[in-house]
Structure 1
Amino acid sequence: MAVQSWFESLKASKKTALIQDVYVHVVWNHWPSKSIYSRPVFMRKDTKTSFQWRIRNLPYPKDVYKLSVEQTERCCIVRTTNKKYFKKFSIPDMDRCQLLLESSALSFAHANNTLIISYQKPKEILTLEVLREVKKMKGSSDGEVDCKTQ
């Protein structure tokens, strides 16, 4: 049995080698399909005044999207009129405070193939967040804030 050199094994594989001087550049013959990169990606990014979700890779125009609030399931629903995308998501912060969802607080924008969904935070949640911040910055009796540095 003969031992193949690294160059012969490269030529026999499903890759093509381009040799320039000392460097070897390997070019794949089979690229991953585009469907991996074109699937919608759902992520949450909150701001100070609103809960915000971003759904990347949605190429449809703005008038195709419909947002609604489902009170019985305590969730928001995003759907397209062409029935190409459907997503249900809840707001855990609202569930924790046992607050009802309001459709008037829900809004959306579409830019660069990204759907940005915003839900305005209610006053109850805003006050809770302010109280948490104050608790973090709790100072000593003489008014100085304790800074933890190393």
Structure 2
Amino acid sequence: MFKNTIWYKSLMGAEKSCLKEDKIKKVHYKFEDGREMVEEYNTDTEVLLRRAWKVKGKLGGEGKWEVEVGDPIPDATPNTETAEIIESQDQPILTRRNTRVNLEWRIRNLPYPLETYSISANNDEKCIIVRTTNKKYFKKLQVPEIARLGQPLEQANIQSTHQFNTLIIMYKKPQQLLDMDKEWFEELKKVKPIKDVPNDCKAQ
């Protein structure tokens, strides 16, 4: 049962605050071990749009946010020179999404047809391994949601499609994760939104 997992207990024990902007609910967690996490939910669909972890700066600075689910958090001070270089790269770009029923990965800039890819659940390494028969691409996709529940990855839950040079990999959420998603969204309704928004929260 998900309520017995270390993950669920740590969520329950975390200090939580939240903001609501239009149809987005942002929740900030401060865990007992000092770690910080931010989640964003669509209040209509109850789907998690983003989950990011605060990573401490190497020199004890403010640190950055590392995105686990959702689009990268825009840098407050983008360097225009490097931004242009990044845009022009043809390197594969990986993003993580969530839907109500699936965990989803999108890998852009992969031009090969669907039959080129081998996508396999690897429980020894607790990840999904993506490789191409032409040996042009290899990637290990972490699935922290399943690992936190202590469940094995099931090959039968993996589906994939390929369109517009993008490989889309979907992992069907097991019942335990669906139950936890639903239960946790109900739990978050108890967290009252903050009226006065501190400046540092707006930036997240």
Classify 1:134/1:112 alpha carbon distance in 2 versus 1 (closer, same or farther; 3 Å): same
Q: Identity of paired residues, percent?
A: 38
- Corresponding residue for 1:87? 139
Summarize deviations over 1:11-51 as a string: whole Å, max 9, x none: xxxxxxxxxxxxxxxxxxxx9699x5211001101111110
Tell me which amino acid in the other structure corresponds to 2:91: R
> What pairs with 1:42-121 in structure 2 (closer than 5 Å)?
42-121=94-173
- Corresponding residue for 1:39? 91
- Three-state SS of the structure 1 residue aligned to 2:181 is helix
Distance 1:54 1:39 in 2: 13
State the Cα distance separating 1:148 from its structure 2 match: 6.3
Cα RMSD for the two superposed structures: 2.4
Distance 2:127 2:106 in 1: 16
Summarize deviations over 1:82-107 as a string: whole Å, max 9, x none: 11001012101111110110000011
- Three-state SS of the structure 2 residue aligned to 1:45 is strand
**Does residue 124 in structure 1 map to residue 179 in structure 2?**
no
Classify 1:33/1:51 alpha carbon distance in 2 versus 1 (closer, same or farther; 3 Å): closer
- Three-state SS of the structure 1 residue aligned to 2:98 is coil
Distance 1:80 1:123 in 2: 31
Work out the number of aligned pairs and report it: 113
Distance 1:106 1:137 in 2: 32
Distance 2:163 2:85 in 1: 26
State the Cα distance separating 1:134 from its structure 2 match: 1.1
Q: Of the two, which has the highest radius of gyration?
A: 1
Q: Please, which runs of 5 or more residues in structure 1 have no aligned partner?
A: 1-30, 140-145
Q: Please, which runs of 5 or more residues in structure 2 have no aligned partner?
A: 1-83, 197-204
Q: TM-score, normalised by structure 1?
A: 0.68
Moved over 3 A (4+): 31-34, 146-150
Distance 1:118 1:45 in 2: 9
